[in-house]
Structure 1
Amino acid sequence: MFSSTMAAVISVVVISSSSSSAPRKPKHDSKWYAMIKRRNAFKRKKKTPVVCFERATTLEASHGLSWVRVCLLGKGGFGSVFYAKRRTTINQGTHLPSQLAVKSTIMDQSSSLQHEKQVLCDLTSSPYVVRCYGDEVTHIANGVKVYNLLLEYCSGLSLERQIRLSGFGLADSDWRKEGNFVAKLADFGLAKAVDEECHDMRGTTRYMSPELVREKKIGYATDIWAFGCAVLEMLTGKPAWEYSEVEDLLWVIGYTDELPQIPSNVSEDAKDLLSRCFVRTAAHRWSADCLLEHPFLSVN
């Protein structure tokens, strides 16, 4: 089983609030400097592929044996994702669907994508995880090798986009039976085995748990905290934390007793569920199995 920060797949519209007061600056002790050093080292490591991978337009001409790129869907810290279609002129790759998403990066910087492929293969039986159809190495014009991860193409809106439309008073006008969607997890680049030693902070800062910031500890409870942040953000349209400076955010999460504020206008069930997620001691947070039995998540 793997643990990953929920924000990789559930990112909700962020609306700044002017009512939040800035926190006091953290004390610059040895633990603080060590934590910032770890964060900056991981940040530099994460950004490296972006610098070397700005040639998205060049990659659009780098097709696979059984598929062709159609357009760029987006770029992230570890590569670019393309919408692709299966070739109809050859017999190879007939196991591929007619549409797919191809996640690509330079071969020399593909360790994260190769790790992600292994995680996806381990989770292939889950209907709530995007399917992986394998991988393939292609080349661009200068002979540089490109690693490609072949994934299920999900045509529905992201959760963030759906909430943005709702916030503007817009609705999906095409709610046919075949238009309904199932929420799926789609990014496991930072997934880590719970018994594997962690050497850096990984994930989106505002979803990090206290033990991750303070001690670099990752476990199932880490995801429960992040899940609570995502639920609170979906309920309010605002991030769980509204600090503008990353260093202030890390300090508040890891080195104070402060908890995300739960507004009074949400249901009692929602308040109770969030209180089970926002527990600073990881061992005292509810497990996923317990949360599934909670009235807020129960399905009648």
Structure 2
Amino acid sequence: MVSWVRGKCIGKGSFGTVNVAVKKGSGAVFAVKSVDKNACVSAQIESLENEIRILQSLETSPYVVDYLGDDESYESPTKLYRNLHLEHLPGGTVADLATTTTAYVDDDRVLRSHVYCIVSALRHIHSNGIVHCDVKGKNILVSQNSSLCKLVDFGSAKKVLTCRASVSPRGSPLWMAPEVVRGECQGPESDVWSLGCTVLEIVTGKPAWDCSGADTLSRIGFSDELPQFPTRLSELGRDFLEKCLRRDPSRRWSCDRLLQHPFLASVSPPTSSSVNTPTESSPRCVLDWVDSEFEEEEEEEEDIDVESFEESAKDRIGKLAGSSGANWDSDGWMAVREYYSNSTRIEGEKTAGISSAYSDSRRVGRMKERSVWSLLRSVVLPPLGS
């Protein structure tokens, strides 16, 4: 039974792909994160399955991407996809916002609002015994309400009860806490360090540390250095960063305390209902999406046959208005057939009207992380027994 339709690819990385998709029954738009089980390496499917388990275990939070379901689908004789259905957030990442706009420079309220959302998301997952392990600008997406952003990409996340020794580091090295680089532990305090690095990334438009391979990892893990605080950040902002970027994990502030910091205390909690100027208009019907998320990049072509385009539009409108209904299998659409339905947990009422997006890949995949860690051990760490 055809249940949803895969549209345009909006993200691609070492884990797989992210596409915009639409639920046929309700027309609800969502994002689908997929890995081809017949072509992937084990780390890719393990990461996706881990993300599914983590999101299933979490209660809904306005600051964490919504889990909408998961399934498997055959889409060709050789392609069997494992799919994670997620809320579609159309505003891009805060990292992109920092590098392509002056939003954070022009309006301090936007910066504070987004930091408030990130801290609130971390408080929520930490209270559920979960550590994200990969907090960075690329893993925070902006909603239609430009004041609201949400934490995404839980492929590296884990459940943790205590800060246990001898951990295998997870995440992106330039955002890792010193104790994670040293392989000592990775707990909620480590996410708070990564939060501080992410605030610096948002303010400056670049990572908190310059990337110089093992030398940078040595500075993060084994020196007394701290990233440089930008002078244009307010005194309150610099004090907030100081509470996050303390080398001793036990001295870092918890997310509960950070929400009481004067830098955030005056922030009005943003909600999805208080929409500012939307980054994309909400579709009123499927046809609206044909010229946006689901369309091939026709605007990149130099010559466009206007008459043919108008005739095509009339034809499409006629089909939608006719008694036979919409043609879901027309050009630009891929029908998806569910391979099994027991694990499909799409909530039609919950997803109706949602605009969402889930973009960007994990910057350092697990295999690459192991390589970095091996390099670190061989170059930086002292010999065993010394």
Scaled to the shorter chain, the TM-score interval is: 0.5 to 0.7
**What displacement does 1:225 show?**
0.3
Matches within 5 A, 1:266-285: 266-285=233-252
Which 10-residue stretch deviates more, 189-198 or 205-214?
Answer: 189-198
Q: Tell me by how many angstroms 1:123 deviates.
A: 2.0
1:113 CA drift (Å): 1.1
Render the CA deviation track for 1:253-286: whole Å, top value 9, x for unaligned. Answer: 1111111111334221111111111111111111
Q: Could you tell me how far apart the structure 2 residues matched to 1:185 and 1:152 are?
A: 11
Deviations 1:207-241 (A, max 9, x none): 00000000241101000000001112222233211
CA contact (8 A) 1:123 1:129 kept: no
User: Cα–Cα, structure 1 residues 140 and 170, in superposed 2: closer, same or farther, change >3 Å?
Assistant: farther
- The corresponding residue for 2:145 is 180
- Which among 197, 200, 224 is matched to residue 168 of structure 2? 200
| SS of corresponding position for 2:182 | helix
Task: State the partner residue of 1:191.
Answer: 157
Q: Which has the larger radius of gyration?
A: 2
- Structure 2 residues without counterparts, runs of 5 or longer: 107-142, 268-386
Q: Name the residue aligned to 1:55.
A: none
Instruction: Tell me the TM-score normalised to structure 1 length.
Output: 0.68
Is structure 2 residue 195 aligned with structure 1 residue 260?
Answer: no
Task: Give the whole-Å Cα distance in 1 for the aligned partners of 2:34 and 2:193.
Answer: 30
| Aligned counterparts of 2:104 and 2:54: Cα–Cα separation in 1 | 38
Which secondary structure state, in structure 2, belongs to the residue aligned with residue 222 of structure 1?
Answer: helix
Q: CA deviation at 1:102?
A: 0.5
Following the alignment from structure 1 to structure 2, what is the Cα–Cα distance between the partners of residues 163 and 86? 33
Counterpart in the other structure of 2:369? none
Post-superposition offset of 1:156? 2.0
Moved over 4 A (4+): 168-171, 196-199
Match of 1:121 among 56, 75, 78: 56
Where does 1:124-163 land on structure 2 (aligned, <5 Å)? 124-163=59-98
Pairwise CA distance, 1:71: 0.8
Asked if 2 retains the 8 angstrom alpha-carbon contact of 1:227 and 1:277, the reply is yes
Within a 5 Å distance, the mapping from 1:33-72 to structure 2 comes to 65-72=2-9
Give distance in 2, aligned partners of 1:294 and 1:120: 29
Looking at both structures, which has the greater relative contact order when contacts are Cα pairs under 8 Å and sequence separation is at least 6?
2
Equivalent-residue separation in structure 2 for 1:246 and 1:227 (angstroms)? 21
Q: Partner of 2:23 in structure 1? A: 86
Q: Structure 1 199/83 Cα, relative in aligned 2: closer, same or farther at 3 Å?
A: same
SS class of match (2:62)? coil
Q: What SS does the corresponding residue of 1:215 show, helix, strand or coil?
A: coil
1:184 corresponds to which letter in structure 2? Answer: K
Following superposition, the deviation at residue 179 of structure 1 comes to 4.7
Q: CA RMSD in A?
A: 2.6
For residues 285 and 239 of structure 1, the distance between their equivalents in structure 2, rounded to whole angstroms, comes to: 20
TM-score calculated relative to the size of structure 2: 0.53
Stretches of structure 1 that go unaligned for 5 or more consecutive residues are 1-63, 89-93, 172-177
Question: In 2, distance between residues paired with 1:255 and 1:295?
Answer: 31
Residue in structure 2 matched with residue 45 of structure 1 by the alignment: none
Instruction: Please tell me the residue identity of whatever aligns with 2:11.
Output: G
Matched, 1:102 2:32: yes
Instruction: State the match for 1:239 in structure 2.
Output: 207
Would you say the 8 A contact 1:71–1:83 is kept in 2? yes
SS in 1 for 2:262: coil
1:186 CA displacement: 1.6
Q: In the alignment, what sits opposite 2:190?
A: 222
The AA in structure 2 aligned to 1:190 is: S
Match of 2:301?
none
Contact 2:21 2:31 in 1 (8 A): yes
Q: Percent identity?
A: 39
Q: CA–CA distance in 1 between the matches of 2:238 and 2:174?
A: 19
